[in-house]
Chains A and B, each alone.
Chain A
C-alpha cells in the first residue's frame, strides 16, 4: 500500500477516537494540573504560583483543615467499602456459584438491581427510610425490640459518614459480586471434583482451592473500589448537599472539590484551588493504582485454565 494511503487509513480509523479522547479527557487533566500552578487575579489575569496553591492547601488552616478532613473521611469511606462491601460481595458470589443452586438467575438479577439505579435516587430513598418523620427504620428496630437504638443517623456527626458509606455499600455490592462470580465460574468443575475426591468439603474447597485462584479478581475489585471511592460525589451531594453536613462530617474529596471550584453559601468559587484539589485527588488515585500495579498485581499469580 502506498505510504499516503496507509497514513489516510490510520487517520480515518484512529483519528476520531484520539481526537475526542485527547480533547475531552487528556487535555482537561493536563490543563487542570497546570491550572493548579496559577492563581486567578481579580482582573482575570493568571499569576504563576508554582507549588504555592498546594502549600496553601496543605498548610494554611483555612484550607488544610477541610482538606485533611475530606481526605480522612474519604479513607474511612473506602475502608468501609473494603471491609463490608467486598466481603459481602465475595460471600454472595460464593453462594451463587454453588453447583446445582436453584433460583440462581433470580437471586443474581434481584441482588444486582440496586446497582442499576441512579445514586441520586438511592440516596433519596434511604433518606426517606431513615427519616424519623416516616419512621420506617424505627419501626423495624421496634419489631426486634431494639427501638432504643434508633437515632437520626444521617443527621448526627458521629454516624453520618458511616451511614452514607453503608448506603453506598448496599447499592454497589452487585459489582464485586458479579466480578467474583464470573471468576468463580471460570474455575473448571473437574478441579472441584478433584478436591472432593481429595476429601475437602464445600467450604474447604472454597478456602483452599477457589479462593487462591480468584486473588487476581479480588485485587482488581479492590483497586476498582479505591478509584471509584476517591472519585465519589453523587451520593453525598444528593443526600447531604454540597456542604456535606452535618458540620462537614460527610465531606469527601469529590464534594470538597465541587464546593471549592463552584463556591457556595460560604465562599466564592476558586478554579485554581479547585484544580489543586483535583490534582491532589489525581495523586491519591495514581498512588493507589501504582501500589496495585507494582506491589499487589506482581505478587499475585494469575492462572489460566
Chain B
C-alpha cells in the first residue's frame, strides 16, 4: 500500500474551474472520505486520481511516483464504480480476472488471485454466474473483488453504496470497514452520505464548489467546523444558525435579546457574526436565563426516546432542538430553549470560525 499526495491540483472544463488548488495527503493505509453536495468536484477529484480525467495543473503522486501522465492501468489503482460497471457478457470469474489478463499475468496466477478474492468476499458459489443473475449486493461484492485481485496500491470507491437499499447499505458499510482492516488498504472513498463518511473515515475531506472546505478527523469536523459550510454540512439535523452582532460581553441577537458568552479574541463589538449550535446541544428550559431564548413550539417530532422540537424564536427564526423523554410539549406552547455554552460556535461575516 502507498501514500497518495495531491499538490495544487486544478482542473477546468473550458472556463469552468471544477477543481481549484486541491492539496490533500492520503496516508499509507488511511481511509479518506470525500464528501460534499453534488457537483462539488469530489467525483472529479477521484477520477483524476484514477487517471480517467486529465488535470489542468498540479501533481498527483502515488507511492512516491508522479502519475500525472500515466494511464489508469499503470497507476496501480483499482476503482469500484457507482453502477458497479460489471461487464454484462462475462461471468463473475471473468469479470474479476479481465484486467489481469490484459496485464499479461499468467493464467494460473489469475485463477489463484480470483479464488482468493472470491473466498474473502464469499463469492465462491457465484463464480460462473453472469452479473444479471446476481442481486445488487452480490454485484457490489464482485465489483470490490475485481478491485482486490489487482493488488492495487490504492482503492478508489465512487459512491459504491448509493444503488443499494437501506438495510444492505448498512451491512455493506460494515463489510467495507472490515475489508479495510483486513487488507490494510489505502482507500479514497466518495460519498454524499455523511453517515458513511463519519463511520468509515480516518479523515473526512469536505468539498464545495471545487475547493476543500476542511479536512480532518470525523469528530474534529463535528466539534470544530472551520466554517459555516462544514458546520451546516456535517450533522443531522443540521446545525442551527442565529444571526447577530458582537456586543460587550456577549452577542446581540436582535429581537431574541442578547446572550452572554465568552468572546474569542478578535471579536470586537459591532462585528456581524453567526452563532451556531447543534440540536443536541439545545434543551427545553423553564423560564428565562442568561443563555435562554423565548420560543413558540411549531412542531414536535418524536422518534421514540428522543425527538425534535421545531421552535420559532421571537425574531422569527426557526430552530430545531433535541428533546428526550416525555416533555409534554405540543404545538403552540410558549417555552424557552437553553443553549449549552460549551458547544456554541461563532462564525465571522466571511463564514470562518472565530476562535
Contact = CB atoms under 8 A, between A and B. Distances in A.
Give yes or no for direct A-B contact (beta carbon below 8 Å).
Answer: yes
A193 B81 contact: yes
B78 A197 contact: yes
Contacts, number: 60
B87 A193 contact: no
Best-surrounded residue of A195, A198, A301, A304 (most CB of chain B within 10 A): A198
Given A190-B81, A190-B83, A303-B132, A197 B88 contact: no
B131 to A, nearest CB: 9
A151 interface: no
Contacts of B132: 303-304
A217 to B, nearest CB: 14
Contact of A194 (B71, B85, B102, B103): B85
Nearest to B104: A199
Contacts of A194: 79, 81, 85-87, 146
A197 B72 contact: yes
A212 B94 CA distance: 14
Interface in B58-113: 71-74, 77-79, 81-83, 85-89, 98-99, 102-103
B89 A303 contact: yes
Q: How many B residues touch the partner, as a band?
A: 20 to 34
Report the interface size class on chain A.
Answer: 20 to 34
Contact of B52 (A197, A200, A303, A304): A197
A199 B102 contact: yes
Contacts of B146: 194
B99 A198 contact: yes
A91 interface: no
A22 interface: no
A65 B50 CA distance: 66
The 6 closest A-B pairs by CB, nearest first: A199-B73, A198-B99, A194-B85, A190-B85, A303-B88, A212-B89
Given A193-B50, A196-B52, A197-B72, 13 more contacts: A190-B83, A191-B85, A193-B52, A193-B85, A196-B71, A197-B73, A199-B73, A204-B102, A208-B98, A213-B88, A303-B88, A303-B132, A304-B132
19 contacts: A188-B83, A190-B83, A191-B85, A193-B47, A193-B50, A193-B52, A193-B81, A193-B85, A197-B51, A197-B78, A197-B99, A199-B72, A199-B73, A199-B103, A209-B87, A213-B89, A303-B89, A303-B132, A304-B132
